[in-house]
Amino acid sequence: MTTGIVGLGLIGGSFAKAYAQAGHKVYALDTDKSTLAFAGVSGVLAGELTRENAGECDLILVCVYPEAAVGFMEDFGPYFGSKPVVIDCCGTKAGVVNAGMKIAEKYGFTYVGGHPMAGTQFSGFKYAKATLFNGAPMVIVPPDFSNIILLSHIKDLLEPAGFGSFSVTTAERHDRLIAFTSQLAHVVSNAYVKSPTAQEHKGFSAGSYRDLTRVAWLNPAMWAELFLDNRENLLNELDTIISSLKEYRDALADKDRERLIKLLDDGKRLKEEVDRG
């Protein structure tokens, strides 16, 4: 298999390493020429992804910000031909999928929206690893939900990454759910460490602190773009959690023990129900 990777950050770099490790030919494109050169000398790449060799690829994974992903597809679209399946790996889907479907129709290539549900608090090629996606979920937004042959082909193309499951959905549902499962968590974590007490926590923190603050260490430019792309869904989730936090605050301010117990019990019960489901 010949695979093209656009963007050699954590996600793109991990795809590149996974496919190279599996014995596949990998071409890549990155704005940072030093990263591209390092990936080449480390044996991950067969060469740079160009307009001339893009049509040779069986799969092209676009692992850059949404706006850049759309720009790449518009730029390279006339050169893809009918062979490659082009999958973007952006963290939001509505905007990029809408644009991607139109560009694919314009130039006659196969485009699929995607979102690998894996990552770390670190970014960049040096933190990429071939095993990043092992057992992780992959979300797919196809152009045709009834095209079983295409969906099966996509799973085969992504097999070297080692995903544990695939979810097929719409761009709108993806963005609504991801506002809760990912974006809200990043906002809360980032805001949480702004407490002045954070400067004094050493020796007084353990697992709960580490778990809650892990994703506070993020890529500000990337997450700002993703938040703004998914603004309405994220605002809804923020309004919901702010309202919930106010209930806890009011119970504390009123010294209402029974109300506080009920709030805590409700949260525990809902967590148990979600985990069982």
Within the chain, which residue ranges are assigned CATH 1.10.3660.10? Answer: 174-276
The DSSP call for residue 194 is T
Region 106-126 average pLDDT: 92
pLDDT digits (tens, 9 = 90+) for 174-216: 999 999 999 999 999 999 999 999 888 887 778 888 889 898 9
What is the chain's mean pLDDT, rounded? 95
Within the chain, which residue ranges are assigned CATH 3.40.50.720? Answer: 2-169
Question: If pLDDT is split at 50, 70 and 90, which confidence band does 167 have?
Answer: very high
Ramachandran class of 141: left when φ > 0, alpha when ψ lies in -120 to 50, beta otherwise: beta
pLDDT for 121 beyond 80: no
pLDDT digits (tens, 9 = 90+) for 138-161: 999 999 999 999 999 999 999 999
Q: Which residues contact 117 (CB under 8 A, 6 or more apart)?
A: 136, 137, 138, 139
Domain 2-169 belongs to what architecture? 3-Layer(aba) Sandwich (3.40)
pLDDT digits (tens, 9 = 90+) for 192-203: 999 999 888 887
Predicted pLDDT of residue 164: 96
Overall fold of domain 174-276: 6-phosphogluconate dehydrogenase C-terminal fold (1.10.3660)
Region 226-230 average pLDDT: 96
pLDDT for 32 beyond 80: yes
pLDDT for 88 beyond 90: yes
Q: Please, what is the angle between helix 231-253 and helix 171-178, to 10°?
A: 30
- Angle (CA) 272-193-268 rounded to 5° is 10
